[in-house]
Amino acid sequence: MGDWLAGKTPIRASLYAFLLSKKGLNLEDIASAIVAPRVFPKQKASTTPTATQKNFIAPLLKEIRGERTLREVGDILRLKTPAAYNHWESARRDIPLHTFLEAIDQLSSRLHTFCEVIGFEKNLSKLGFPSHRKDFSEKFFTLPWTPTVFLALQTSRYESQLKHSSAKLARQLNLSIKKIDDALHILADLELVTFDGALYRHRKGQFYAPPTLSKSTLERLNLYWFSQSKELYSQPGLHKIEEHALSIESLEKIKTWVAELRERIREEVKTSTPETVAHIHWQVSDMLP
């Protein structure tokens, strides 16, 4: 396996993904974990590596490229020619496994999620990828407010301070100082932050709860954020849950609109200068059947 990942043996991503599917893993679940909150398009069942390349690898590569140009992707992945990625995402050629993992890491920052969903335990840091812990997401989401603290450390409001203050963060996020410090301890343990003597410096990344989280952790997350949303119910026009009778065709159209809006918000957040932390709740979308 090590030779495959390092590119010393010419194994292709399609064969690896095909073998995962033969082990009973759902490739759509894997793709969704990498591109969330975008919805990965439903694909036909793949019965051969070639079909897996066309139905899974190519669409996934197109999804994680997003709005980047082929030249931008070529620069990020250090490709000899940007046309190589175009051949891979159009299924004209099959991408090497090592390059496929590098694309996931560099373009979506979700290599850790990919590893968790497929149950991959090998230390990828030896191959030049960020270190990954088997219990990364379980640890990261143990305290539901840890993602909030992590986001707060990335804002210009925090980075403009001369010295770290858990008390200031506690007031800003409406959390106790103990909760702030507990979250910082988890982030440091996961090597997502380091303390430089004045402030906590963060490692960039997008962290979504994967389907492999334990039931208790998911329930704790849902209960916490549901309770945080209660105060928003009385605000007119915000966070209201509406119920309508409509056709399946209309339902699918609405789901597409919501997915597109989520992506537009994600792109805007990615390109803007952080000044505050905003929690956007999607009760309407998430309650659709």
Both tokens of residue 60?
A: 């996934």
**What pLDDT score does 181 carry?**
96
**What pLDDT score does 1 carry?**
47
Kindly report the backbone phi and psi dihedral angles of residue 39, in degrees, each rounded to the nearest multiple of 5, phi listed first. -95, 125
Cα 195 to chain centroid distance, Å, stands at: 25
Task: Please check whether residue 137 is in contact with residue 213, taking contact to mean a CB–CB distance below 8 angstroms.
Answer: yes
Q: Residue 70: in which H helix or E strand, if any? A: helix 70-77
Task: Please check whether residue 222 is in contact with residue 171, taking contact to mean a CB–CB distance below 8 angstroms.
Answer: no
Can you name the residues that pair with 200 across neighbouring β-strands? 195
Strands (E), 93-249: 193-195, 200-202
**What pLDDT score does 236 carry?**
46
Can you name the residues that pair with 194 across neighbouring β-strands? 201
Phi-psi region of 200 (alpha: psi -120 to 50; beta: other; left: phi over 0): beta
From CA 52, how far away is CA 14, in angstroms rounded?
A: 6
From CA 46, how far away is CA 49, in angstroms rounded?
A: 7
Angstrom CA distances, 53 to 1, 28, 45, 94, stand at: 20, 13, 11, 7
**What pLDDT score does 282 carry?**
58
**What pLDDT score does 289 carry?**
45
Return the ∠ at Cα 144 (arms to 143 and 146), rounded to 5°.
70
Mean pLDDT by 10 residues, the chain (289 residues): 53 90 86 78 79 92 90 92 93 92 88 82 68 79 89 86 93 90 94 91 75 82 73 48 68 81 80 71 50
pTM over 0.75: no
**What pLDDT score does 126 carry?**
65
**What pLDDT score does 5 carry?**
53
Angstrom CA distances, 76 to 34, 79, 129, stand at: 18, 8, 14
Residue 247 burial (10 A CB sphere; 0-12, 13-18, 19+):
exposed
Return the ∠ at Cα 60 (arms to 13 and 81), rounded to 5°.
70
